Structure 1
Amino acid sequence: MTKSQNLLEVLFYINNKKIFTARDVSDTFGISIRTAHRYLMDLSNSGVPIYTEQGRNGGYRLLKNSVLPPVTFSIDEGMAIIFAFQNLNNFQSLPFDMNYETVTQKILTLFSDETKRVIENNSKFIEYFSNRMHETKIDLKQIIEASMNNEVIEIKHNSPNKVTIRNVVPIGLYTYNGKWYMPSYDLNISDIRSFRVDRIE
């Protein structure tokens, strides 16, 4: 790897450490202690707030929450992410707000112009087709929030044969064959049951 790549790896490493020594960096990356000191000095000179801890158990300390290491992706990783978002674009209802075009453009800004051109050209030869996902009548975010808070909710469920009012504790969401499902603990029958979300009011 290039020196800049090595420095980035060291930055990721020390950002997750409370306190560390040059020996820790040396052992982790298989480099000499002298090189470890030089890398830490280079990072410090570039603005990373690395402080020296004096004393018997001293070493280096990074000011916490002050560094957000840059995220880097390979071309294949970028293609995979864009392909995954292309899949999400088939959903008419999602438990979060997302604009496919906006997200795609934000991802592409992470790459160099040359890499961006490669990804955009490759994308022309890949297309994701699936069943158009059913639109739901309720906000999927409400189901996620109820699941996280272990809440009892009352639902009106329209099955093919009858309409029932049920008190349930949602467990989460999953999608299958173009439809959203809400696995829940059904208080009416004291058992787990999955409800098709597009049939819920």
Structure 2
Amino acid sequence: MRLLDARKKFTARELAERFDVSVRTIQRDLDYLQQLGFPLYTEVGANGGYRVLPNRILPPLQLTEHEAFGLFMMMEYLQQVPDFPYGSIRDQLSDHYFSSLPSDVQDRISGMSEHIAFLQNHSEQSEALTTQIINAAIEKKQIRFTYASRSGRKDVEAYPIGIYYEHGYWYMPAQKGERVLLYRLDRMQELAILHYTDTSVPTLKEWLTSTDDRERTEVTVRFTDFGTRLAQSDMHFKSVKDHEWKGQVPPEEFPFMARRLIAYGPEAEVVQPEPLRELVRELLEKSLDTYRPSIT
């Protein structure tokens, strides 16, 4: 089955020679695979042979009862991410597979779903956008989109590296010139895949494991008891120890870091460096300005 799926088109004689059996044996095996649901069809003529369907329907899953429970719990979890790539097939997959299960297993799964819930914040971005970006990243193609940044809306052309999901939002690192910039998908609109390609664009895995050679500054953040508990579930500060977090941070990341620290309110204090303390102070003052009474 793996060989047929890789070759896409072949003759019975080619397969017979590959496995050192008779053509008749291969034909019996192919008939048997078709009976199992493997998506083959026959082309007649001098250049004919067997071909796997272009948009092939793969053989059904054969799971144990325990594995079936796990599959449905995973699909239940993914329902909390409505913009999940290729997510439009989730309901179809769930209904199709669920209907094929024995009634007692169906009852067990239905009962389980009444006693488990996955609650988290998420964006309302379209699933089509995440799917388009992944396809463009795989093909190393450039995309064009409109982005709502803090300075206003702007048109962007860049090469997507991939996407990742964090704290209820999808993020897309993309190569623009010599730099890799980070975009939040819920701020993107009007995406179009262009014809330009660049095979030098890294994969997401390569980018995540690459060495960042930017100049860095040591940052120290002191947390309260409650702040420490919050930080331990935050991927940026989870290495906090004895109520302090220390790390080497590029100065370009200070604005982003200051905004993350604002969310901690009085539960976190920047000890050093002074430029980061100043950024946090400015953000706090802007927040206070919002609540000061207006003078008429």
CA RMSD of aligned residues (A): 3.0
The structure where strand makes up a greater share of residues is: 2
Structure 1 residues 104, 70: CA separation in 2 closer, same or farther (over 3 Å shift)? closer
Q: Which residue of 1 aligns with 2:110?
A: 120
Q: Which residue of 2 aligns with 1:199?
A: 187
Structure 1 residues 150, 101: CA separation in 2 closer, same or farther (over 3 Å shift)? closer
Please list, as runs of the form range in 1=range in 2, the aligned pairs for 1:156-195 lying within 5 A after superposition. 156-187=146-177, 190-195=178-183
**Which of 110, 130, 133 is equivalent to 2:100?**
110
Provide the TM-score with structure 2 as the length reference: 0.43
Offset of residue 177 of structure 1: 1.0
Offset of residue 181 of structure 1: 1.1
Structure 1 residues 17, 199: CA separation in 2 closer, same or farther (over 3 Å shift)? closer
Q: Tell me the secondary structure at the aligned position of residue 146 of structure 1.
A: helix
Q: Matches of 2:85 and 2:145 in 1, distance apart? A: 18
Please list, as runs of the form range in 1=range in 2, the aligned pairs for 1:7-46 lying within 5 A after superposition. 15-16=1-2
Does the Cα contact within 8 Å between 1:147 and 1:170 map onto a contact in 2?
yes
Instruction: Report which stretch shifted further, 147-156 or 63-72.
Output: 63-72
**Which of 130, 135, 154 is equivalent to 2:124?**
135
Gaps of 5+ in 2: 5-15, 39-58, 190-296
Please list, as runs of the form range in 1=range in 2, the aligned pairs for 1:85-104 lying within 5 A after superposition. 85-98=75-88, 101-104=91-94
Structure 1 residues 180, 17: CA separation in 2 closer, same or farther (over 3 Å shift)? closer
Residues 119-148 of structure 1 show CA distances to partners (whole Å, capped at 9, x for unaligned) of 2222222222221x2122773332223223
Residues 161-198 of structure 1 show CA distances to partners (whole Å, capped at 9, x for unaligned) of 444433210122221111111121122xx122221011
Instruction: Report which stretch shifted further, 136-145 or 110-119.
Output: 136-145
Provide the TM-score with structure 1 as the length reference: 0.60
Q: Which residue of 2 aligns with 1:63?
A: 30
2:136 corresponds to 1:146? yes
Flag the structure with larger Rg. 2
Does the Cα contact within 8 Å between 1:182 and 1:197 map onto a contact in 2?
yes
Q: Matches of 2:2 and 2:133 in 1, distance apart? A: 34
Q: Matches of 2:179 and 2:21 in 1, distance apart? A: 57
Q: Tell me the secondary structure at the aligned position of residue 88 of structure 2.
A: coil
